[in-house]
Amino acid sequence: MPSKVSESMAPAESKRLIGRRVSAVACFDSFGKLAMTMLAACRREGAETTLLLLELNNRALSRRQRLEIRRIDPKTRIEKHNWNDLRQLCGAMVGNVDALILGLDGQRSRDALLQLKTIWADQDQRPRLISAYPGILFRFGLEGMMDRSGADLLCLNSADDLALYGRGRKALGLDSSNAMVTGLPILWQTKPRSSAPENPSIVFFEQPSIPVHPLQRRFLCDQIKELAEAWPDHPVIFKPRTSSIESTLHRRHGEMASVIDKMTRDQPNLRLSFKPATRLLRQCGCAITVSSTAAMESMAMGISTRIVGDLGVTETLGNHFFASSGAIANFAAIKANPFEVVHDAHWLEQQGLQRDGEDRFITALVDRLNNPAAPLGAANHGPLSWGSSAWQKAALSNGGRRMLSSGGARSSQRKRHRTRRMLRSMRDGVVGFGWLSKLLRER
């Protein structure tokens, strides 16, 4: 029997992006992983790939975060730059880069699209723009999709996302042909486990901003300890989203990790781990979370998965996304039966597990590359899904690009807190915490 042809030995003519160059920009760790996942798909099709990690002021990714991103595809080159270098970096891409993946949050997606519209004006050979989202829920729903609507290709997780985007665009007299369902990119290469581990662990995956209330967080910590007491022969692992000095897109609401760390002294099978979620899932028998994307990875691997229901099912918690998944349970039920797979596989395939998602993405990208680039917007504003020409002109003339970030809502918020931010910066600079924090993140 002939052996299976490896990736490196695959016939060149079968690779659809031979001779193409694809780059990506990202600022935060989750978006960096998303961008690297999409770049890896392009590289497997023969493209030359580069990831540009753009540092925000005092919000550099830590060495651990960068290693997790690199681990996704070690063959893709990574460069570190500052967010303020975006214009210069992208200006040099015309004629040299075929496609640019925007691994950015909504606010910076709008900012980047406005800058690119200016520097790529009247350029027939501009790179095609691809945008996607690393989570299961677009922040602010339709608004998150509209933020990215200026891209040539908008990759969405589900048919529900596509339908919502289509309704929003249609209401403004616009089509939604730039969007398609590719599924959640982190699941493209995820396969069910061939065998279960001998002594499976129980892992709780934390999120930086959920739940919000300190009493809720303390309740979860107590429940995790009780779970460890109920299953003393199994490792019960608490996986923090980040360490206290690492940057995330969303604001952190307290430290559950420090509470759990104290509990580990009295409970020998309870422990903290900063290992990547994919590594922890290999030995996991039950994955627990409030609403993390780790639940989707766990389900896709065929692992027993539980979504915490003790605090209710609400948009604030984000667990309303899992309402029909069959996986919502309170801790009493989890303690009684943690290892049985109960989630609905059909629901999973409807909400993010697109078996041919990577192929759909590459096919759509090739189609965009083989057709002329559409204008990124009129000369003095962005796509009309951000608002009318009259509004955008008024916003840009009165407040600059920031005023077009979500209709200016976040800009007004930023203005109210400007004094507080200035005082914090002065305090950090005077006592030296600013440079110390940056130094620690780099290690």
Angle between helices 214-230 and 256-263 (to 10 degrees): 30
In contact, 305 and 343? CB cutoff 8 Å? yes
Which band of pLDDT confidence, cut at 50, 70 and 90, is reported for residue 250? Answer: very low
Question: Quick one: pLDDT at residue 407?
Answer: 43
In contact, 98 and 128? CB cutoff 8 Å? yes
Residue 96 has which token pair?
């040299």
Q: State the average pLDDT over residues 116-131.
A: 87
Question: Quick one: pLDDT at residue 29?
Answer: 86
Question: Quick one: pLDDT at residue 434?
Answer: 57
Mean pLDDT is lowest, of 238-247, 260-269, 331-340, 386-395, for 238-247
Beta carbons within 8 Å of 79's beta carbon, 6+ residues apart:
50, 51, 52, 53
* 205: DSSP letter: E
pLDDT tens track for 381-414: 788 888 888 888 888 888 667 666 654 444 444 4
Which band of pLDDT confidence, cut at 50, 70 and 90, is reported for residue 418? Answer: low
Which band of pLDDT confidence, cut at 50, 70 and 90, is reported for residue 164? Answer: very high
Closest CA to 274 of 301, 250, 245: 245
Better-predicted residue by pLDDT, 219 or 212: 219
> Cis bond leading into 211, ω under 30°?
yes
Q: State the average pLDDT over residues 364-371.
A: 96
Give the whole-angstrom CA distance, residue 148 versus residue 151: 6
Q: What pTM was computed for the model?
A: 0.84
Residue 170 has pLDDT above 60, yes or no: yes
Count the helices and strands in the chain (H runs, E runs): 17, 13
Closest CA to 101 of 24, 156, 27: 24
Give the whole-angstrom CA distance, residue 109 versus residue 102: 7
Question: Quick one: pLDDT at residue 208?
Answer: 79
Question: Quick one: pLDDT at residue 218?
Answer: 94
Q: State how far Cα 190 lies from the chain centre.
A: 16
* 85: DSSP letter: G
Question: Quick one: pLDDT at residue 394?
Answer: 86
* 291: DSSP letter: S
Q: State the average pLDDT over residues 287-292.
A: 94
Q: State the average pLDDT over residues 200-209.
A: 92
CB atoms within 10 A of CB 164: 17
Alpha-carbon torsion 13, 14, 18, 20, what sign? positive
Question: Quick one: pLDDT at residue 428?
Answer: 52
Which band of pLDDT confidence, cut at 50, 70 and 90, is reported for residue 78? Answer: very high
Residue 118 has which token pair?
């200016």
Helical residues (DSSP H) of 92-248, grouped into ranges: 106-119, 142-147, 159-171, 214-230
Question: Quick one: pLDDT at residue 4?
Answer: 47
Better-predicted residue by pLDDT, 63 or 181: 181
Question: Quick one: pLDDT at residue 324?
Answer: 95
Residue 126 has pLDDT above 60, yes or no: yes
Alpha-carbon torsion 333, 336, 337, 339, what sign? positive
Q: What is the mean pLDDT of the chain?
A: 85
Better-predicted residue by pLDDT, 97 or 399: 97
Residue 420 has pLDDT above 90, yes or no: no
- Helix (H/G/I), strand (E/B), else coil: 235: coil
Virtual torsion, Cα 428, 64, 100, 300, nearest 10 deg: -130
Closest CA to 277 of 241, 234, 329: 241
Q: State the average pLDDT over residues 14-29.
A: 94
Residue 277 has pLDDT above 80, yes or no: yes
Give the whole-angstrom CA distance, residue 225 versus residue 237: 10
Give the whole-angstrom CA distance, residue 273 versus residue 258: 12
